[in-house]
Amino acid sequence: MKRFEKIGIIKNVSSSWLGLVVNVATGIVVSPYILHKLGDEAFGLWVLVFAVTGYYGLFDLGIRSSIVRYVAKFSATENNLELNRLFNTSLCIFGCIGLVLLAVTGVGSLFIEKLFRVHASAVTTARILFLMVGASVATNFPLGVFAGFLEGLQKFYLINLINVTSTLLRAILILVALHRGHGLLMVALITVSFPFLSSLVNMFNVFRLQHLQLGPSYVSKATFKEIFSYGSTTFMISVADKLRFKTDAMVIGTFLSAAAITPFAIGSRLVEYGISLVDSMVQIFTPMSSHFHAKGEVDRLRSMFIAGNRACALIVFPICAGLILLGKPVIQVWMGAKYVSASYPILLVLLIPNTLRMAQATSSRILFGMARHKTLAIVVFAEGIVNLVLSIALVRPYGIMGDAIGTAIPLTVTCLFFLPQHLCGILGLRIRSYLLKAFGAPLLLCMPMVACLLLMQRWFVPHNLLQLVVQTVIAGGVYSAFVYYFMFLKGPLNLRTPEATARDNGQPLEEQAAVATREA
């Protein structure tokens, strides 16, 4: 890999992780503060409204993914005319979608109390909250074109740094507002303002990096067809993802109550925080795999498939083990002891299948980059339907646990019996070889950390933040030491120079290179 490619990957991934750390840290601080200041009913209403407006993302129609793909293609070939057509056409499409969503928001706010079980005293607040959040999402549709351009240019670090600044400022203002006695609507106003401001900064950066021109003459019917030919399959996956991961709050709010969403949200949010570290890393693989596929470099795609999923597993496996063993004290310290009994089982049920999914996060990105994601779309859409049906069927007899089980079963089936076999078939790899190379080392390297946590819990179970931090740091240190030694010094991510390794092995450099080639 060329030096500038490595530097770009490091900048993008490190900035993504910085953004993740800031996002998780602020969420850990702000979420319990909002919950305890506003109460279960208001917090559940907050989660419900954001879950409902989250479905507005379906109106993306796969256009955002098309922008990323074709910006990368046209910028690489320096085709400025097509870039301008892509920019103006996508801006026109998203502008029209934004107007439609504004109308949907206005109408939906009039019937909010009929759609969900909202307490009579909270109807006015729910209506205003829905208007604010829905209008914000609608406005950010056309403005989101600029973030898509930055991703296509592989300038993830610019987006991430903007988001870090926005997240910190937003968290500070929310804490100040709650401290001064302001309520849910002020918190919502602060929350929806910062994405708009961030989009304006993205717009400035795009115009700074690219010579783009605005004008109706650049709106192209051919570009419109090209966008939708790729984006239609992505749209199906977006719909599936909404069914898979965004229906829980709506199902619970419809069949139980808004207050019941709170313990479910606590458990599920911990899972989201845990897997988001992988999510923030794998976004770079879509444009990279598109590049390799366009050049016919199948060997590099295979290497990315194995090494990328190995990297995902090295991150998500210890997080999974840590949450299983420390989940109860984490919930107790974070939100309070009264939520442990209801939220920890939700955490466990959702954690395992999501760990299986995120350990293979590179797989779907490669399919997107190769434009081979049609079969994936069909499978995950079917999974989403089964998810929704099971969740509705199980939520009444089993409560929020039934909803979690309805999500976990189909997700586990997809991750175990479809995704590995499908990618190995496309790339011409044996499934057993892939599983051993990608997941063997991460599983073994987790064992010392798990043993360390079990030993420490025999001495004391953490009940406060300091004790929790102590156990986490010690276990994390043990895991990091083993990963560094076996993966970076002795294993496939060897950081030593070939000359130094050859000296240690007593081999001529040429002979060692020949051995390494045969092993690869």
Query: What's the whole-number mean pLDDT along residues 305-324?
Result: 92
Angle at 271 between CA 267 and CA 272, to 5 degrees: 115
Q: Band the pLDDT of 161: cuts 50, 70, 90.
A: confident
C-beta of residue 177 within 8 angstroms of C-beta of residue 190: yes
CA distance 247 to 55: 9
For residue 340, what are its two tokens? 């442990």
Nearest Cα to Cα of residue 387 among 396, 395, 398: 395
- Whether pLDDT at 508 is above 70: no
Q: CB neighbours (10 Å) of residue 55?
A: 15
CA distance 431 to 410: 21
C-beta of residue 122 within 8 angstroms of C-beta of residue 41: yes
* Predicted local confidence at residue 8, as pLDDT: 60
Q: Among the listed ranges 35-39, 460-464, 478-482, which one has the minimum average pLDDT value?
A: 35-39
CA distance 236 to 241: 9
* Predicted local confidence at residue 17, as pLDDT: 67
Please, is 152 exposed, middle or buried when counting C-beta atoms within 10 Å of its C-beta (0-12, 13-18, 19+)? buried
Sign, Cα dihedral of 325, 326, 329, 332: negative
Q: Band the pLDDT of 451: cuts 50, 70, 90.
A: very high
Q: Among the listed ranges 209-213, 264-268, 281-285, 309-313, which one has the minimum average pLDDT value?
A: 281-285
CA 275 centroid distance within chain: 7
* Predicted local confidence at residue 510, as pLDDT: 41
C-beta of residue 286 within 8 angstroms of C-beta of residue 368: yes
- Whether pLDDT at 142 is above 70: yes
Q: Among the listed ranges 229-243, 337-351, 448-462, which one has the minimum average pLDDT value?
A: 229-243
Q: Which one of 105-119, 253-267, 440-454, 497-511 scores highest in mean pLDDT?
A: 440-454
- Whether pLDDT at 310 is above 80: yes
H helices of 39-117, in order, are 40-54, 63-76, 80-110, 112-115
User: What is residue 387's DSSP assignment?
Assistant: H
CA distance 282 to 169: 27
Angle at 167 between CA 35 and CA 68, to 5 degrees: 120
* Predicted local confidence at residue 118, as pLDDT: 65
* Predicted local confidence at residue 116, as pLDDT: 67
* Predicted local confidence at residue 507, as pLDDT: 44
Q: Which one of 208-217, 225-234, 437-446 scores highest in mean pLDDT?
A: 437-446
Q: Band the pLDDT of 171: cuts 50, 70, 90.
A: confident
Mapped to the 3 state alphabet, what secondary structure does 330-363 carry? Answer: HHHHHCCHHHHHHHHHHHHHHHHHHHHHHCCHHH
pLDDT in tens, 15-25: 776 776 787 77
For residue 272, what are its two tokens? 């989201």
Domain boundaries, the chain: 1-229, 247-443
- Whether pLDDT at 212 is above 80: yes
* Predicted local confidence at residue 237, as pLDDT: 84
CA distance 109 to 43: 18
* Predicted local confidence at residue 412, as pLDDT: 95
* Predicted local confidence at residue 5, as pLDDT: 55
Phi, psi of 47 (to 5 degrees): -65, -40
- Whether pLDDT at 45 is above 80: no
Q: Band the pLDDT of 490: cuts 50, 70, 90.
A: low
- Which 3 state secondary structure label does DSSP give 473? helix
Q: Of 425 and 45, which is predicted with more confidence?
A: 425
Nearest Cα to Cα of residue 317 among 450, 446, 434, 447: 446
- Whether pLDDT at 498 is above 80: no
pLDDT in tens, 395-434: 989 999 999 999 999 999 999 999 999 999 999 999 999 9
- Whether pLDDT at 445 is above 50: yes
Q: Band the pLDDT of 272: cuts 50, 70, 90.
A: confident
Q: Band the pLDDT of 248: cuts 50, 70, 90.
A: confident
Cα separations in angstroms, 142 against 95, 99, 203, 258: 5, 10, 11, 32
* Predicted local confidence at residue 318, as pLDDT: 94
Sign, Cα dihedral of 168, 169, 174, 177: positive
CA distance 368 to 361: 12
E strand or H helix that includes residue 333: helix 298-334
* Predicted local confidence at residue 444, as pLDDT: 93
CA distance 304 to 190: 40
* Predicted local confidence at residue 424, as pLDDT: 93
Mapped to the 3 state alphabet, what secondary structure does 180-241 carry? Answer: CCCCHHHHHHHHHHHHHHHHHHHHHHHHHHCCCCCCHHHCCHHHHHHHHHHHHHHHHHHHHH
Which DSSP string corresponds to 289-326? HHHHHHTT-HHHHHHHHHHHHHHHHHHHHHHHHHHHHH
pLDDT in tens, 455-475: 998 888 888 888 889 999 999
Residues in the chain, total: 520
